[in-house]
């Protein structure tokens, strides 16, 4: 009996080209949608802050924006009447934005809510309890944290904490532009720890000593869980990328950690096609992996359903970014349960979601990372862009058509 060649050897390469073409078309469409969402948010989203400055700095008639700080002037002189800035923190129902006015002596002279999505009753409690008046007269060097000079309102603790944190961030933004000491103070152990983790991950990943690599990675996971997770509560989230795309770039003098974390991941992905953060010291990934190590959980990649799960993961991340850009609210569209775990805060549904993920971690290795994490699709997209650039610059290294065996016959 003679066996006929099953197919033309050029078909696999044609399929590769077709798949590649679809990927490029999908990427182009995604970029167009993201740009449209950004444009919509730029036109219709957010608030114009400059007209509000006179509400927190009495007598201001002219306002000049400088690096995120609004400098207010009066009618007569060029000497500033004061400075104002906006601070933002995550509340129960979304981001809380506060505008804070500070006089030249460093005292808080006015606060105003710019935007909030809390339950109306919570903010009514704050106003009725004169919560905002506690901040007036405070020096910009004073502690503005709840329990340290600022009293929370019973029944609205989370909203109280959000307002206090937003005001504190606004004050630190002003202080950073007015004080030369702020630059040195911004480089502390969190930034040093983050740099050390990136460097260790980069160096160790290139090592051929598997035993040393395994132990160093374990130590880095523990540092990530403790330091970046429970102590700082500053893991990488989708809000970092959405803020970057929205143009919400915080002052580097007071937010160097933000730039190191986001920039380190992007640069590592662009340079090597992968980054050490997700695999080596992501705090939430580390918690999942530790739970899986207890029960011996293994990766679960069902061939039939896994592509659909990945499609769902990418779709959720894409929708979240689009909404974040259109609404100009990067933190409101992040659905990671990091805050619930590391800050022990959240409502009923966030806690149930967290419990489900932690329980699943005993059965499946890193289930959230594999099926739901919105950061992974973003990093995959950066890696895809890197591949396009790499192929463009090094066409000889582009994927070649596979060598297929010639048809043969037998009896």
Mean pLDDT, to the nearest integer, of 150-154? 73
User: What are 97-147's pLDDT values in tens digits?
Assistant: 889 999 988 899 999 888 776 666 666 667 766 788 888 988 888 878 777
User: What are 332-356's pLDDT values in tens digits?
Assistant: 677 899 888 987 877 788 899 999 9
Per-residue pLDDT, 185: 47
pLDDT-derived band at 374 (thresholds 50, 70, 90) equals: very high
Annotated domain spans of the chain: 50-179, 186-397
Average predicted confidence (pLDDT) for the chain? 82
pLDDT at 407 exceeding the cut of 50: no
Nearest of 85, 75, 114 to residue 178 by alpha carbon: 85
Helix, strand or coil, per DSSP, at residue 155: coil
Per-residue pLDDT, 9: 55
What is the rounded distance in angstroms from the CA atom of residue 249 to the CA atom of residue 88? 12
Rg, C-alpha atoms of the chain: 26
User: What are 252-296's pLDDT values in tens digits?
Assistant: 766 789 899 999 999 999 988 888 899 999 999 999 999 999 999
Query: Which of residues 388 and 368 earns the better pLDDT score?
Result: 368
CB 335 within 8 A of CB 374: yes
pLDDT at 408 exceeding the cut of 50: no
Out of 3-17, 68-82, 159-173, 197-211, the most confident range is 197-211
Long-range contacts of range 353-356, CB-CB < 8 Å, 24 or more positions apart? none
pLDDT at 175 exceeding the cut of 60: yes
Per-residue pLDDT, 238: 92
Percent pLDDT > 90 in the chain is 34
Distances (CA, A) of 98 to 39, 56, 163: 24, 11, 7
Per-residue pLDDT, 288: 97
What is the rounded distance in angstroms from the CA atom of residue 275 to the CA atom of residue 348? 34
φ, ψ at 179 (rounded to 5°): -125, 130
Strand order in the sheet with 95-102: 62-66, 69-73, 80-90, 95-102, 108-115
User: What are 35-67's pLDDT values in tens digits?
Assistant: 999 888 877 765 678 888 888 998 888 888 776
Cα 411 to its chain centre, rounded Å, is 63
End-to-end CA distance of the chain: 5
What is the rounded distance in angstroms from the CA atom of residue 22 to the CA atom of residue 252? 39
User: What are 196-244's pLDDT values in tens digits?
Assistant: 999 999 888 888 888 899 999 999 999 999 999 998 888 999 988 998 8
pLDDT at 396 exceeding the cut of 80: no
Indicate the burial class of 62 (C-beta count within 10 angstroms; 0-12, 13-18, 19 or more).
middle
């Amino acid at each position: 009996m003679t066996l006929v060649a099953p197919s033309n050897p050029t078909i696999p390469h044609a399929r590769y080209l077709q798949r590649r073409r679809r990927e490029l078309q999908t990427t182009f469409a995604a970029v167009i949608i993201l740009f449209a969402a950004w444009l919509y948010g730029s036109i219709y989203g957010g608030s114009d802050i400059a007209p509000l400055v006179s509400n927190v700095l009495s007598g201001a008639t002219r306002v000049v924006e400088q690096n995120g700080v609004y400098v207010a002037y009066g009618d007569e002189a060029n000497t500033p009447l004061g400075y104002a800035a906006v601070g933002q923190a995550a509340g129960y129902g979304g981001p809380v934005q506060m505008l804070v006015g500070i006089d030249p002596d460093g005292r808080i002279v006015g606060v105003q809510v710019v935007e909030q999505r809390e339950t109306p009753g919570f903010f009514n409690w704050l106003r009725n309890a004169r919560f905002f008046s506690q901040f007036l007269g405070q020096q910009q060097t004073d502690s503005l944290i709840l329990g340290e000079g600022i009293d929370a309102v019973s029944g609205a603790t989370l909203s109280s904490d959000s307002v206090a944190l937003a005001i504190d961030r606004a004050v630190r933004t002003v202080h950073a532009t007015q004080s030369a000491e702020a630059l040195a103070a911004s480089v502390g152990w969190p930034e040093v720890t983050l740099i050390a983790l990136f460097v260790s991950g980069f160096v160790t990943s290139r090592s051929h000593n598997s035993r040393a690599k395994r132990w160093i990675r374990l130590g880095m996971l523990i540092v990530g869980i403790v330091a970046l997770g429970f102590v700082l509560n500053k893991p990488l989230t989708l809000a970092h990328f959405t803020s970057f795309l929205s143009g919400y770039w915080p002052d580097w003098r007071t937010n160097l950690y933000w730039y190191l974390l986001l920039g380190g991941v992007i640069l590592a992905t662009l340079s090597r096609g992968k980054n050490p953060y997700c695999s080596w010291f992501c705090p939430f990934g580390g918690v999942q992996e530790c739970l899986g190590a207890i029960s011996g959980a293994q990766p679960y990649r069902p061939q039939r359903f896994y592509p659909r799960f990945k499609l769902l993961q990418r779709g959720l991340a894409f929708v979240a970014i689009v909404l974040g850009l259109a609404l100009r609210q990067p933190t409101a569209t992040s659905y990671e349960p990091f805050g619930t775990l590391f800050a022990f805060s959240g409502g009923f549904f966030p806690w149930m979601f967290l419990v489900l993920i932690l329980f699943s971690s005993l059965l499946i290795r890193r289930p959230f990372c594999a099926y739901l994490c919105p950061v992974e699709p973003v990093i995959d997209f950066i890696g895809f862009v890197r591949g396009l650039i790499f192929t463009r610059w090094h066409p000889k290294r582009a994927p070649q058509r596979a060598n297929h065996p010639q048809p043969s016959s037998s009896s």
